[in-house]
Structure formats: structure tokens, C-alpha cells
């Protein structure tokens, strides 16, 4: 299934969906029944005689999906299927697509550069870098425990830096942050002392006088349900901070922050991932 739909403009919806079935040599009655079945599956029941030129972008996308699914393939590959749609449709369709794929029970390879799409649709998510697998995990594991600094940054989690871990505390360029008991436990494999990549999630910060992180608000962007702050910290990389507080500081204001230990993630040691922040 192509990003630009690839529908035949001279054929109506029914003929578009029936194309693969007819190429396969299915009988007319079988074709008509299957076309009706898949159009109902994608929410376009009764659209058989509609011209594709009269359809909205989302409806055309559904026709393209129906055409792909009509021959009942064992493997479906979708190449940036929502890339040409507007934002509202891109937020609406992933849930519907996931439901359709589960109904079919087919294996689906979904290629996208949109991290949100990948995490919301897939049962298993693979991150590729220069043709090599950088991570392969469930969406939840990928998000909660990125395999490398590259994966974390690819997911939009940019607060990654080398730190020194000792006795349940990670000392980072932004300040010393406490680890959860589970993260600090060497028996769990995560809390071994020494040099580690440390990730601070953007939603881990709370304003508090005397907090471990001290800086100045450089920018703030309204994101609907929160503000995204960029905080400049002396002699350290800038921090992304998601603020859902009663008072949101303006650019230029000083800020002191504490870090919720639950929002601190230790990534593999730099001996394994030293090259992951380049390229």
C-alpha cells in the first residue's frame, strides 16, 4: 500500500478494490462479495459506484487499504500510509488501522517516520539506523527503556548525557539525580556503578527551590495540554522540560527543578554505545 494511494482515477471505488481479485482470475460473484466485505471493514459500505475523485483524502486512503486487503494477503506492507493526510486524520486512523489488522490476523509491516504512529499501531517496533537494527521491542519497552541514546533521541527524548552512577545517585552535567530503588539495584542489572548514559524524561521535572537542576528558561512552546520548555543550564546541554504547572515561567526567567526518580532511565554503558550519538 503506497503513501500516495495509487488509485486508478478512471475506475470507481468498486473497480479499484476489485483489481487484484480480477487479476487473480476470481469469478464475478466472488469478486463482488469480497469487495463488499472489505469496504464494510474499512468503513465504506455502499461506496462501490462512487468516483474516487469525489472522495476525501481519508476515504481514498481507506479505498487503497481495501484494495490491498481484498486478495487476503498473508503479509501486508504499508509504506508511510498516512504521510499525505492532514493532522486530524493522522490522529484518527491509527486506531482504526490497528483494529482492522487485528480483525484480519495478517502480518503487517508498517513503515513510518512518525514515532507516534509506530508506537500506537505496532505490537513490535523496530528502529533502523543506516540499514541496521538499532532496537527491536514492544512499543512499551521501546518507550520506557530505549536501547541506546540514538533510539532515545529518535523518539524525541533528547535529555541524554553521560553520567557517573554510584550508590543510587546519577551525577549528570545537569546535577545529581536520585534513582529509583529498582534502577539502583545492582542485582537487577540496571544499577551497576560506573559511567552510564543517563536519560531524564521531559515530564520528570517539578519546580522546587533548591532543586538539583538550575537554569534559565530559553524558550517555551504551548503544546495544548502542557508547555514544552527549553532550559539552558550552565556547562551542560539544554534540557527539554514538559511543564504542567500552575505557573509557567517565561523565557529569561531563572528556574530550579527537582527530578522525579521514576523519570530517570539508565541506558547501556558507553563502552557499548559510544558511537550512538554521532552520525
Please indicate, yes or no, if residue 128 is contained in any of the structural domains: no
Residues 111, 151, single domain; the answer is no
Give the pLDDT score at 85: 66
Residues 20, 104, single domain; the answer is yes
Residues 74, 182, single domain; the answer is no
Please indicate, yes or no, if residue 94 is contained in any of the structural domains: yes
Q: CA-CA distances (angstroms) from residue 154 to 151, 231, 275, 277?
A: 5, 20, 15, 10
Structure confidence by residue, pLDDT tens digits, 193-218: 789 999 999 999 999 999 999 999 99
Global confidence as pTM = 0.77
Give the pLDDT score at 185: 60
Closest by alpha carbon to 273, among 152, 157, 127? 152
Residues 106, 197, single domain; the answer is no
First-to-last CA distance in the chain? 31
B/e letters for 1-23, b = 16+ CB within 10 Å, e = fewer, are bebebebeeeebbbbbbbbbbee
Q: CA-CA distances (angstroms) from residue 113 to 101, 122, 254?
A: 20, 13, 36
Please indicate, yes or no, if residue 181 is contained in any of the structural domains: yes
Residues 28, 109, single domain; the answer is yes
Residues 112, 152, single domain; the answer is no
- CA 252 – CA 275 distance, rounded (Å): 34
Domain closes at, from 123, 157, 180: 123
Question: The domain that contains 176 carries what CATH number?
Answer: 2.40.50.140
Residues 264, 179, single domain; the answer is yes
Residues 87, 119, single domain; the answer is yes
Residues 93, 179, single domain; the answer is no
- CA 250 – CA 142 distance, rounded (Å): 33
Please indicate, yes or no, if residue 99 is contained in any of the structural domains: yes
Distance of CA 114 to the CA centre of its chain: 6
Percent of the chain scored above 70 by pLDDT?
91
Residues 152, 256, single domain; the answer is yes
Please indicate, yes or no, if residue 4 is contained in any of the structural domains: no
Assess contact for 77 and 101: CB atoms under 8 A.
no
Residues 159, 97, single domain; the answer is no
Please indicate, yes or no, if residue 240 is contained in any of the structural domains: yes
Please indicate, yes or no, if residue 65 is contained in any of the structural domains: yes
| Residue ranges making up the domain that contains 259 | 146-273
Give the pLDDT score at 84: 64
Question: The domain that contains 23 carries what CATH number?
Answer: 3.40.50.300
Please indicate, yes or no, if residue 139 is contained in any of the structural domains: no
Residues 83, 162, single domain; the answer is no
Q: Per the structure, how many domains does the chain have? A: 2
Q: Which residues of the chain have pLDDT under 50?
A: 273-279
Amino acid at each position: 500500500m503506497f503513501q500516495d494511494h495509487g488509485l486508478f482515477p478512471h475506475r470507481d471505488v468498486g473497480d479499484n478494490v476489485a483489481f487484484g481479485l480480477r487479476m487473480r482470475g476470481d469469478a464475478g460473484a466472488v469478486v463482488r462479495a469480497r469487495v463488499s466485505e472489505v469496504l464494510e471493514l474499512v468503513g465504506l459500505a455502499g461506496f462501490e459506484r462512487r468516483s474516487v475523485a469525489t472522495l476525501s483524502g481519508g476515504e481514498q486512503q481507506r479505498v487503497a487499504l481495501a484494495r490491498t486487503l481484498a486478495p487476503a494477503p498473508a503479509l501486508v506492507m504499508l509504506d508511510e500510509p498516512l504521510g499525505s493526510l492532514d493532522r486530524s486524520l493522522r490522529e484518527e486512523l491509527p486506531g482504526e488501522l490497528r483494529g482492522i489488522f487485528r480483525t484480519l490476523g495478517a502480518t503487517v509491516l508498517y513503515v513510518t517516520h512518525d514515532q507516534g504512529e509506530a508506537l500506537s499501531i505496532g505490537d513490535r517496533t523496530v528502529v533502523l539506523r543506516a540499514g541496521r537494527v538499532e532496537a527491536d521491542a514492544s512499543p512499551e519497552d521501546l518507550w520506557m527503556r530505549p536501547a541506546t541514546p540514538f533510539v532515545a533521541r529518535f523518539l524525541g527524548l533528547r535529555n541524554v548525557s553521560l553520567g557517573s552512577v554510584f550508590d543510587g545517585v546519577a551525577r549528570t552535567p545537569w546535577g545529581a539525580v536520585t534513582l529509583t530503588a529498582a534502577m539502583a539495584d545492582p542485582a537487577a542489572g540496571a544499577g551497576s556503578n560506573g559511567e552510564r548514559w543517563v536519560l531524564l524524561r521531559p515530564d520528570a521535572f517539578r519546580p522546587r527551590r533548591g532543586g538539583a537542576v538550575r537554569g534559565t528558561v530559553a524558550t517555551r512552546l504551548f503544546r495544548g495540554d502542557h508547555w514544552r520548555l527549553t532550559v539552558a543550564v550552565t556547562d551542560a546541554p539544554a534540557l527539554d522540560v514538559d511543564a504542567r504547572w500552575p505557573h509557567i515561567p517565561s523565557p529569561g526567567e531563572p528556574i530550579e527543578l527537582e527530578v522525579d526518580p521514576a523519570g530517570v532511565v539508565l541506558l547501556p554503558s558507553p563502552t557499548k554505545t559510544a558511537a550512538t550519538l554521532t552520525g
